Amino acid sequence: MIPIRYSKRTITDQEQIASFLHTAKVGHLGMSNEREPYIIPLNFAWWNGCIYFHGADSGRKIEMINENNRVCFSVCEEHGTIASPVPAHIDTAYMSVFLSGTIERVQEPAEMRDAMQAMIDKYVPGYFSDPLPLQHVLKYRSSMGSVTAIFRITPDTLTAKGNPGSEENQFYPGKKVEMDV
């Protein structure tokens, strides 16, 4: 694993990392083949120490996964700009997680259902009164007729970093440097 260069921003608290991954909305899946890299944004769930997502069972993403099952996944959320009277000290409050590992299509029906339930619980908590039926996952077809493929990324490495910033230094429209000196 390559260490984070700006080590004072490293986050090692596993509960903080898991909490972030449970609530962050969009991740970016990075893939490559012999010709090019390819990155796509997607919704995901952090469940059982892995990243899960779903999508069509055909297309460029599937072709690239079939060529090379080594992937990376990045999640970042910006929490605002940190103002400073010193221009070089203007910064961003954020948290990010980066992981790399192997990706595979989930084949076991119960794991498929449970991964989809984790995504439902994340994106529309409390919306459905009953758990996702297994048959729905197995029989669903998109408007284009494709089955839903569910994928699991098992991380080999996972790093996190962040800059919490502070409320008093948070920039807001109308704030002027005179207010900070």
Q: Could you please state the CATH topology (level 3) that the domain comprising 7-162 is classified under.
A: Pnp Oxidase; Chain A (2.30.110)
Domain residue extents for the chain: 7-162
pLDDT, one tens digit per residue, over 82-119 is 888 888 888 888 999 999 999 999 999 999 999 999 99
User: What are the strands of the beta sheet with 27-32, ordered from one edge?
Assistant: 37-42, 27-32, 70-82, 91-105, 148-163, 50-56, 45-47
Single pTM value for the model: 0.87
pLDDT, one tens digit per residue, over 3-48 is 666 677 789 999 999 999 999 999 999 999 989 999 999 999 999 9
Q: Where are the alpha helices (DSSP H) in the chain?
A: 14-23, 60-67, 109-123, 134-139
Does the pLDDT of residue 175 top 90, yes or no? no
Tell me the two tokens of residue 174.
């109308």
